[in-house]
């Protein structure tokens, strides 16, 4: 009996710790590592970040999601990190380096003018759907889905090519720890989705597609 009690005395705490770790990783947060340069200059290749799972996804949130089944080129177990540009019901257009959401210009202060103009292209959701033969051809982001882009538009494989991210595939919202990166980069990842006034001047939808 004494041996059994001693055995349980160290096994039970280990089991409890393992269960707590599993619960935290499943429902609260997880630490993951960036692979690739699609979120530069705000997230660097191999940079570690925290994925917070209970947070509400907003426009300009940076998220991690299971890319398998979303991007046809993604292998099982592949996760992508991208920025949410369109919420369900949003109309999105790109013209001359500017993004427009529901007819209003999106504040893209998280990348500079050359980065905005280099690689984003001119399109609407409808023109992208036609060009890439998406199964969903509506001109707005479907219910329970998000439209995402990488910050480094010229290298990012994102919603412009394969469409929308199902909400069920989202792991959580990215946050950069306070000791990591610069204050600007942390703000561009952690805070933009919570700031008001993310749209600017209105825009005519005519001629937005290419």
- Flag the least confident range among 14-23, 50-59, 181-190: 14-23
Is 145 inside a domain boundary? yes
Give the mean model confidence (pLDDT) for residues 138-164: 94
Q: Please tell me the predicted confidence (pLDDT) of residue 166.
A: 97
Name the strands in the sheet holding 123-124, side by side, starting at the edge strand that comes first in the sequence. 123-124, 92-95, 98-101, 104-106, 199-202
Same domain, 76 and 3: no
Whose CA is closest to 189, among 92, 83, 114, 58? 83
Give the mean model confidence (pLDDT) for residues 158-162: 95
Same domain, 100 and 2: no
Same domain, 14 and 110: no
Give the mean model confidence (pLDDT) for residues 187-196: 82
> Which of 179 and 102 is assigned the larger pLDDT?
102
Is 47 inside a domain boundary? no
Is 51 inside a domain boundary? no
Residue 38 catalytic? yes
Same domain, 13 and 67: no
Same domain, 15 and 96: no
- Whether 12 shows a pLDDT value over 90: the answer reads no
Domain CATH code at residue 92 = 2.10.109.10
CA distance 113 to 93: 17
Same domain, 17 and 96: no
Residue 18, domain extent:
1-28
Same domain, 151 and 60: yes
- Whether 139 shows a pLDDT value over 70: the answer reads yes
Same domain, 165 and 72: yes
pLDDT category of residue 144 using cuts at 50, 70 and 90 = very high
Of the residues 33, 35, 82, 156, only one is catalytic, namely 82
Same domain, 65 and 159: yes
Same domain, 69 and 129: yes
Is 183 inside a domain boundary? no
H/E element, 166:
strand 165-166
Q: Please tell me the predicted confidence (pLDDT) of residue 189.
A: 93
Is 35 inside a domain boundary? no
Q: How many structural domains is the chain composed of?
A: 2
Same domain, 19 and 61: no
8-17, 172-181, 198-207: which is most confident: 172-181
Where would I find the beta strands (DSSP E) of 53-164? 62-66, 79-86, 92-95, 98-101, 104-106, 123-124, 145-149
Average pLDDT, the chain: 83
Q: Would you mind telling me the total number of residues written for the chain in this entry?
A: 210
Residue 82 catalytic? yes
Of the residues 38, 61, 94, 156, only one is catalytic, namely 38
Buried b (16+ CB within 10 A) or exposed e, 73-85: ebeeeebbbbbbb
Predicted TM-score of the model (pTM): 0.82
Is 107 inside a domain boundary? yes
Is 151 inside a domain boundary? yes
Is 90 inside a domain boundary? yes
Residue percentage of the chain with pLDDT more than 90: 59
Whose CA is closest to 140, among 88, 94, 95? 88
Whose CA is closest to 195, among 11, 20, 61, 73? 61
Same domain, 16 and 63: no
């Amino acid at each position: 009996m004494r041996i059994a009690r001693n055995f349980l005395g160290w096994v039970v705490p280990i089991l409890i710790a393992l269960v707590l770790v599993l619960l935290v990783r499943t429902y609260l947060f997880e630490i993951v590592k960036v692979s690739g340069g699609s979120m530069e200059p705000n997230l660097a290749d191999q940079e570690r970040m925290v994925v917070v799972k209970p947070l509400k996804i907003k426009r300009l949130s940076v998220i991690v999601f299971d890319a398998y089944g979303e991007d046809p080129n993604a292998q099982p177990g592949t996760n992508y990190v991208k920025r949410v540009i369109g919420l369900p019901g949003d109309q999105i257009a790109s013209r001359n380096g500017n993004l427009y959401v529901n007819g209003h210009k999106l504040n893209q202060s998280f990348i500079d003018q050359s980065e905005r103009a280099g690689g984003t292209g001119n399109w609407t959701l409808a023109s992208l759907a036609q060009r890439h033969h998406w199964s969903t051809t509506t001109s707005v982001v479907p219910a329970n889905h998000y439209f995402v882009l990488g910050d480094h538009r010229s290298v990012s494989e994102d919603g412009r090519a394969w469409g929308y991210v199902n909400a069920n595939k989202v792991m959580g919202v990215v946050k950069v720890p306070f000791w990591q990166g610069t204050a600007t980069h942390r703000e561009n990842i952690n805070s933009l989705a919570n700031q008001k006034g993310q749209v600017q001047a209105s825009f005519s939808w005519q001629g937005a597609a290419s």
